[in-house]
A and B are shown apart, each in its own frame.
Chain A
């Protein structure tokens, strides 16, 4: 029988009910705030936040709504970064095609990894995803097209659709914002779709979902591929923004970071991963002077989350307001 419960122990805030109007308002508010954000904040910093926010949202689709803890999501993020970098720099793809190509690569990789990992549950699933991601890391370390320790540098940002010059940070920012919102809305729709309803049922009680005639592995696999593709969208965009794809993007610490972001913000919440990504990226930026101490600060935050507020920032906030956020 299925091993249940690890994610349930972390517990999403009540996902039931049809009162989603407050969420729609919050999404509109967030989009508006992000649109004017570069007036106040440094656009490059904001773009980093948005790329990681999309990555964390994609990861959260799996852990928060299917109950699958992947510990190898860096593979999808990093593969897409290399794919976008290579396509843009070596093949001369325009940015939109480079990112689409990167997304497709990650989706394909997700299909393979997912197909292999979904046969196992709980911790075994997490370990298999980690192992596969590590294998890929060592492959990228040796492969000629990744540039090894140097990575792919000076990736051209190019012109979007041959028109918009992305070398201006502000223009690049609007494009990243559009990509982020598109990805976020797709995830939001997925959660609130007939498919999402089945995912929630599987998360709540897998054997029962099976007994109702659902081939749960197929649903998990589709969710896994979606999550991988959207992680790829984030990774590919990141490579174009920072003009860099490197081993950091595929390293297991990247997989760990995305777990941390989702956890700090709130697993199984709509906005949690975004807040989590903003917190973690801010910490990395503003505490950069501390050097390796940043990792220790992150570790402490992780411990605090697990011990004191398991629902994460947004999860706790949602509980206080009595509304799922």
Chain B
């Protein structure tokens, strides 16, 4: 793993929706080269946090620092260009494009030709080799020419990962990568995340605690928009407040 420095840091990050504080004074610190999990009961503000970090939402208060640079005022696409690439809860693929074309959309962005409407798309074929490598890396090289919409769910998520990695992100934000998956797929995706996380930094929202236990170096527990606890899995699992928050919220919803 790379050095021990901080790659992403937030100070007093808050988001208010018409009087409802969805995220409250969050001070998050993600260390470079680690897999960091954001967990918590439903409605704790995890996805809102993701949307704030990637600027899909504008924070009401607070600052976001990426590699020491203040990115609080940037647009989502600018954040992405800096190397913070997110995934979505619902698998986000370009349905009518083939798996190969999906990955190429990510690859072509780095070159400045994406506005060229007078040139042939054959130009994009030079990305085919790299795109196939990426598809092979996530184990779906065999379906490269299948439209993404026709892929089974697990493979869509793998494709999404391949597309994300194509950008060589410095920080990957994965929003519930195993949501809605069968046990077999969960195992496969977990292994895949471990593989692609090598030499990278990952921040993920995850409900499946065994995945978190398996993968993550650091866990932050969010409850009602606030950080309740932080640490490695052993410490979090032993924390009575965390247990109470989970059980309490389960009862609350029952």
Q: Which residues of A contact B (CB under 8 A)?
A: 1, 12, 14-17, 186, 189-190, 192-198, 200-201, 204-205, 207-216, 218-219, 222, 226
Given contacts A219-B114, A219-B115, 17 further A-B contacts (CB under 8 A): A16-B97, A193-B118, A193-B119, A194-B114, A194-B119, A195-B115, A196-B117, A197-B104, A197-B121, A204-B96, A205-B95, A207-B88, A210-B56, A212-B106, A212-B167, A213-B85, A226-B117
Whether the Cβ atoms of A208 and B92 lie closer than 8 Å is yes
- Once the chains bind, are A205 and B77 in contact (CB under 8 Å)? no
- Nearest-neighbour CB distance to chain A for B115, whole angstroms, equals 5
- A189 contacts which of B94, B115, B117, B124 (Cβ < 8 Å)? B117
Which interface residue of A1, A12, A207 has the most chain B CB atoms within 10 A? A207
CB-defined interface of B163-205 with A at 8 Å, one 1/0 digit per residue?
Answer: 1000100000000000000000000000000000000000000
Task: Please state if B116 and A194 are interface contacts (CB–CB under 8 Å).
Answer: yes
Nearest-neighbor residue (CB-CB) of B79 within chain A: A213
Residues of B within 8 A of A200 (CB): 94, 96-97
- Residues on B with C-beta less than 8 A from A219 are 114-115
- Closest-by-CB residue of A relative to B76 is A210
- Given A210-B80, A213-B167, the answer on whether A194 and B92 have CB atoms closer than 8 Å is no
Closest to B145 in A: A17
25 A-B residue pairs with Cβ-Cβ distance under 8 Å, sorted by A, are A12-B96, A14-B147, A15-B97, A17-B98, A190-B118, A192-B120, A193-B120, A194-B114, A194-B119, A195-B116, A197-B108, A200-B97, A205-B92, A205-B93, A207-B92, A208-B88, A209-B105, A211-B54, A211-B85, A212-B85, A212-B167, A214-B114, A215-B75, A219-B114, A219-B115
B16-57: which residues lie under 8 A (CB-CB) from chain A? 51, 54, 56
- B residues adjacent to A (C-beta < 8 A): 51, 54, 56, 75-77, 80-81, 85-88, 92-98, 101, 104-106, 108-109, 113-121, 123-124, 145, 147, 163, 167
B97 touches A213 (CB 8 A): no
Q: Quick one: which of B87, B95, B117, B145 contacts A193, CB cutoff 8 A?
A: B117
Q: Of B51, B76, B85, B120, which is in contact with the most chain A CB atoms at under 10 Å from its CB?
A: B76
Cα distance A212–B168 in the bound complex, in angstroms? 11
Docked CA distance A193–B116 (Å): 7
The residues of A that contact B145 with a CB separation of less than 8 Å are: 17
**Chain A positions within 8 Å of B95 at CB level:** 204-205
B92 touches A211 (CB 8 A): yes
How many Å lie between the Cα of A14 and that of B96 in the bound state?
6
Q: Could you count the A-B residue pairs with CB atoms below 8 Å apart for me: how many are there?
A: 114
User: Given A210-B77, A216-B77, A219-B115, does the pair A189, B120 have CB atoms closer than 8 Å?
Assistant: yes
- Looking at the assembled complex, report how far the CB atom of A46 sits from the nearest CB atom of chain B, in whole angstroms: 28
A68 to B109 alpha-carbon distance, docked (Å): 22
Which residue of B has the minimal Cβ distance to A193?
B117
Residues of B close to A205: CB separation below 8 A: 92-95
In the bound complex, CA of A193 to CA of B123 (Å) = 8
B119: chain A residues at CB < 8 Å are: 189, 193-194
Given A208-B93, A215-B75, also A194-B121 (CB < 8 A)? yes
The answer to whether A222 and B75 have CB atoms under 8 Å apart is no
A219 to B145, CA, bound (A): 26
A310 to chain B, nearest CB (A): 16
Write the chain B residue with the least CB distance to A190.
B117
Contact, CB under 8 Å: A211 / B117 = no
- Output the nearest chain A residue to B146 by Cβ-Cβ distance: A16
- Selected from A192, A207, A222, the residue in CB contact (under 8 A) with B56 is A207
A213 to B51, CA, bound (A): 15
What is the bound-complex CA distance between A215 and B109, given in angstroms? 10
Name the distance in Å between B197's Cβ and chain A's nearest Cβ. Answer: 18
* Distance, CA A17 to CA B96, complexed state (A): 9
Q: Given A208-B88, A211-B88, are A194 and B96 neighbors across the interface (CB < 8 Å)? A: no
Residues of A within 8 A of B105 (CB): 197-198, 201, 209, 212
Q: Could you say which residues of chain A place their CB within 8 Å of the CB of B93?
A: 204-205, 208
Q: Flag if B76 contacts A211 (CB, 8 Å).
A: yes
**Which of B77, B117, B123 has the most chain A CB atoms closer than 10 A to its own CB?**
B117
Nearest CB in chain A to that of B99: its residue: A16
Nearest A-chain residue to B110, judged by Cβ: A213
Q: Are A192 and B85 in contact (CB under 8 A)?
A: no
Do A212 and B109 touch (CB < 8 A)?
yes
Question: In whole angstroms, how far apart are the Cα atoms of A211 and B76 in the complex?
Answer: 7
